[in-house]
């Protein structure tokens, strides 16, 4: 090729690469570099994103927009509530984000989580990569927001944008977590600024605070997560979102929007129960609420907008009397699983004794088995023929089995090892129960539920991708399996169980790549396994408390510090000092406020 042409092409490439927006670069097309949006993106109505200059500094327009953002974030009064940050740019750069492996606490880190800085136009959500990421990665875990295309359509109405702006901001934050495998401080600050500007009784805030609470919690912003979920619950109950009529009142005769509000209540109810299980509490305003909200429809119906006549909770509770095999949605069976788990646990005394063995078998087992036995055939299979996993049924099955494990293990031969106390999923001590007459029944029940969990975790999928609330559910089954390795299994069965433990830890590690709280839990499980299995490395150091096992102090290492659960001491209490491992047994022994206050924040 002629050297002059070659030189010209190289010059062209160089000049284009420094000015081109990210979409044009990705398509390898010429970009005029106009900001905030280039001509090509304007013509195609696409989101225009720019990498920040590597030469340092920002242009005046961007600096001005950044000042506006910071000013908005500092407003705490109602004077700014009516202002619209619609021209505001949110800049996300590599120097203001951190990843699960960068820090052990939720303090703001400064490590690199994303190679390029991008600018997001607050009110331009078409083709937004972060919103795409939310719907691709998180929505199916807790599917209560409007389907993406319906949300886009609704947001085109300028009168609805002030109400939806904080929701969009939080959705972007979640999308960023999955894309960058890290936390964005600018997106967090912008989302909180939008929350401050929202109308305090807007029901959309229930959705905002619910999502925000989940990601805060699993990023170890524990006290902030509690504040957000409390605010969501209080607003939902104040608005009486639990009434059947609420969806119709807020839905503006739109069946998709009405379905969205029904789902919002039930996801709030479900997540609140997940918190109770994860933290070992059972004090909640929602558990005693007499809800009349109709049950959600199938996911495919929701996504298509073809919403059928809704089914009631009363119909679900009387399904055993139906003349034909009545099938409800996956969401309905998840709600049923939550209610069954809560009811089964409530039948067990706070401080179990030997005589309670029969009560667990006769009452709690009947409740949990009733859910399992009435499942239609198509709901017993979590994976479809196409290889897709029904996330809601996955959660429902996992929940039923972890409740079974928690109820039966104290009465079984699967003894509690003192070292289990270092698990952040551990709860109050289990009573030292003498061996009951039906000990074998309890042991078999635990092992069968552990086997059922293993089958769920071993589904042939490309990656383990589920809600972070599965962390403690998986952990409880893993700890029970470790006990079986120590006390019961020998030979080939022991070898298989060890392989299963490797798999469960691998599943937790996959979650830990996104969520620091899960990453810390992985280290705790690894330490427990070393001690329970008698591995050599476990004999050469003292056992840290759960607050001393930090996810951010180096992968595969244990950081020893002073935390909420005490100083550096060996764990040497008797076996009677342990109860359940994930809070699904005798949950109301632990004071709610105390549990939340045991924050892992530095």
All structural domains of the chain, each given as residue ranges with its CATH number in brackets, are 18-50 (4.10.240.10)
- Which tokens belong to 212? 């925000």
Higher-pLDDT residue of 288, 540: 288
Beta strands 97-98 and 183-184, pairing class: antiparallel
Name the percent of the chain lying above pLDDT 70. 69
Dist CA 421 CA 425 (whole Å): 9
Alpha helices, DSSP H only, in 432-490?
439-457, 470-487
Segment 59-88 mean pLDDT: 51
Segment 118-126 mean pLDDT: 64
- pLDDT at position 357, please? 82
pLDDT-derived band at 123 (thresholds 50, 70, 90) equals low
- pLDDT at position 45, please? 66
Lowest mean pLDDT among 107-111, 435-439, 444-448, 531-535: 107-111
Sorted by sequence, the CB contacts under 8 Å of residue 488 that are 6+ apart come out as 413, 414, 443
Q: What angle do CA 231, 307, 389 make, to 5 degrees?
A: 75
- pLDDT at position 462, please? 82
- pLDDT at position 26, please? 60
- pLDDT at position 345, please? 85
- pLDDT at position 256, please? 96
- pLDDT at position 410, please? 86
Q: Is the pLDDT of residue 453 over 80?
A: yes
Closest CA to 399 of 414, 382, 411, 419: 382
Closest CA to 176 of 126, 113, 122: 113
- Report whether 134 contacts 175 (CB < 8 A): yes
Higher-pLDDT residue of 345, 204: 204
pTM score: 0.74
Average pLDDT, the chain: 77
Closest CA to 526 of 470, 561, 480, 475: 475
- pLDDT at position 125, please? 79
Closest CA to 265 of 242, 289, 231: 242
- pLDDT at position 224, please? 95
- pLDDT at position 13, please? 41
Alpha helices, DSSP H only, in 349-427?
357-359, 365-373, 377-380, 391-408
Gyration radius from the chain CA atoms: 26
- pLDDT at position 115, please? 35
Give residue 70's Cα distance to chain centre.
29
pLDDT digits (tens, 9 = 90+) for 229-275: 999 999 999 999 999 999 999 988 899 999 999 999 999 999 999 99
Higher-pLDDT residue of 346, 502: 502
**Which run of H or of E encompasses 536?**
none
Lowest mean pLDDT among 254-258, 326-330, 407-411, 589-593: 589-593
Segment 312-331 mean pLDDT: 90
pLDDT-derived band at 525 (thresholds 50, 70, 90) equals very high
Lowest mean pLDDT among 7-21, 139-153, 504-518: 7-21
- pLDDT at position 81, please? 39
Higher-pLDDT residue of 598, 201: 201
- pLDDT at position 554, please? 31
Dist CA 95 CA 557 (whole Å): 25
- pLDDT at position 127, please? 83
Closest CA to 212 of 125, 271, 266: 271
Lowest mean pLDDT among 138-147, 411-420, 590-599: 590-599
CA distances for 255 relative to 244, 314, 532, angstroms: 14, 21, 54
pLDDT digits (tens, 9 = 90+) for 470-485: 999 999 999 999 999 9
- pLDDT at position 103, please? 43
pLDDT digits (tens, 9 = 90+) for 542-589: 444 433 433 333 333 223 232 322 223 232 222 222 233 333 333 333
**Which run of H or of E encompasses 48?**
none
Side-chain half-sphere CA neighbours of 44 within 13 A: 10
Name the percent of the chain lying above pLDDT 90. 48
pLDDT-derived band at 355 (thresholds 50, 70, 90) equals confident
- pLDDT at position 401, please? 95
- pLDDT at position 543, please? 40
CA distances for 370 relative to 273, 348, 516, angstroms: 20, 17, 36
Higher-pLDDT residue of 168, 533: 168
| Residue 114 DSSP symbol | -
pLDDT-derived band at 99 (thresholds 50, 70, 90) equals low
Alpha helices, DSSP H only, in 89-203?
129-137, 148-155, 161-180, 185-197
Sorted by sequence, the CB contacts under 8 Å of residue 5 that are 6+ apart come out as none
- Report whether 581 contacts 476 (CB < 8 A): yes
- pLDDT at position 400, please? 96
Lowest mean pLDDT among 74-83, 209-218, 401-410, 543-552: 543-552
pLDDT-derived band at 427 (thresholds 50, 70, 90) equals low
- pLDDT at position 225, please? 95
Segment 185-210 mean pLDDT: 95
Higher-pLDDT residue of 204, 32: 204
Side-chain half-sphere CA neighbours of 526 within 13 A: 19
- Report whether 303 contacts 296 (CB < 8 A): no
Residue reference for tokens 């047994």: 585
Q: What share of the chain is helix, strand, coil (3-state, %, to 5)?
A: 55, 5, 40
Higher-pLDDT residue of 417, 583: 417
pLDDT-derived band at 3 (thresholds 50, 70, 90) equals very low
Beta strands 97-98 and 89-92, pairing class: unpaired
pLDDT-derived band at 67 (thresholds 50, 70, 90) equals low
Higher-pLDDT residue of 339, 411: 339
């Amino acid at each position: 090729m002629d050297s002059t042409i070659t030189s010209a092409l190289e010059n062209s490439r160089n000049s284009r690469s420094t000015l081109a927006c990210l979409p044009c670069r990705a398509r390898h097309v010429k970009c005029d570099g106009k900001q905030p949006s280039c001509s090509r993106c304007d013509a195609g109505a696409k989101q225009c994103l720019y990498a920040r200059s590597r030469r340092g500094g920002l242009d005046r327009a961007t600096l001005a927009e950044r000042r506006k953002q910071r000013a908005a974030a500092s407003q705490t009064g109602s004077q700014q509530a009516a202002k619209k940050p619609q021209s505001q740019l949110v800049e996300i750069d590599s120097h203001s984000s951190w990843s699960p492996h960068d820090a052990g606490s939720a303090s703001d880190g400064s490590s690199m989580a994303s190679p390029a800085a991008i600018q997001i136009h607050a009110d331009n959500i078409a083709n937004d990569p972060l919103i795409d990421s939310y719907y691709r990665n998180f929505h199916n875990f807790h599917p209560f927001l409007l389907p993406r295309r319906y949300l886009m359509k609704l947001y085109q109405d300028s009168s609805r944008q002030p109400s939806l702006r904080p929701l969009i901001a939080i959705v972007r934050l979640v999308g960023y977590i999955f894309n960058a495998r890290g936390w964005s401080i600018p997106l967090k600050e912008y989302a909180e600024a939008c929350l401050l500007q929202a109308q305090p009784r807007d029901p959309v805030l229930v959705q905002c605070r619910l999502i925000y609470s989940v990601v805060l919690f699993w990023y170890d912003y524990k006290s902030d997560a509690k504040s957000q979920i409390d605010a969501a619950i209080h607003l939902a109950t104040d608005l009486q979102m639990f009434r059947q009529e609420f969806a119709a009142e807020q839905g503006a005769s739109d069946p998709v929007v009405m379905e969205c509000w029904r789902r919002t209540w039930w996801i709030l109810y479900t997540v609140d129960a997940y918190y109770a299980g994860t933290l070992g509490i059972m004090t909640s305003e929602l558990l005693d609420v007499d809800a009349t909200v109709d049950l959600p429809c199938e996911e495919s119906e929701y996504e298509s907008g073809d919403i059928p006549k809704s089914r009631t909770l009363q119909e679900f509770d009387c399904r055993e009397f139906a003349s034909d095999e009545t099938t409800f949605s996956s969401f309905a069976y998840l709600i049923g699983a939550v209610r069954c788990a809560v009811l089964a646990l409530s039948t067990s005394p706070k401080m179990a004794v030997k005589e309670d063995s029969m009560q667990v078998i006769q009452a709690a087992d009947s409740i949990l088995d009733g859910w399992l036995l009435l499942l239609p055939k198509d709901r017993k299979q979590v994976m479809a023929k196409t290889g897709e996993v029904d996330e809601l049924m996955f959660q429902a099955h996992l929940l039923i089995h972890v409740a079974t494990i928690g109820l039966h293990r104290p009465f079984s031969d699967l003894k509690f090892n003192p070292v289990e106390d270092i698990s952040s999923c551990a709860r109050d001590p289990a009573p030292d129960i003498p061996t009951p007459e039906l000990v074998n029944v309890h042991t078999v029940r635990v092992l069968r539920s552990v086997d059922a969990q293993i089958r769920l975790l071993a589904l042939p999928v490309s990656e383990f991708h589920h809600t972070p609330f599965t962390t403690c559910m998986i952990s409880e089954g893993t700890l029970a399996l470790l006990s079986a390795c120590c006390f019961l299994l020998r030979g080939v069965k022991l070898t298989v169980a060890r392989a299963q433990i490797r798999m469960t830890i691998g599943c937790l590690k996959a979650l830990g790549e996104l969520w620091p709280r899960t990453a810390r839990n992985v280290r705790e499980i690894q330490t427990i396994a070393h001690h329970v299995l008698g591995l050599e490395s476990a004999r050469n150091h003292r056992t840290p408390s759960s607050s001393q096992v930090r996810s951010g102090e180096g992968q595969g290492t244990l950081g020893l510090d002073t935390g909420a659960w005490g100083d550096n001491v060996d764990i040497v209490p008797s076996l009677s000092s342990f109860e359940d491992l994930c809070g699904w047994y005798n949950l109301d022994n632990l004071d709610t406020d105390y549990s939340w206050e045991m924050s892992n924040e530095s």
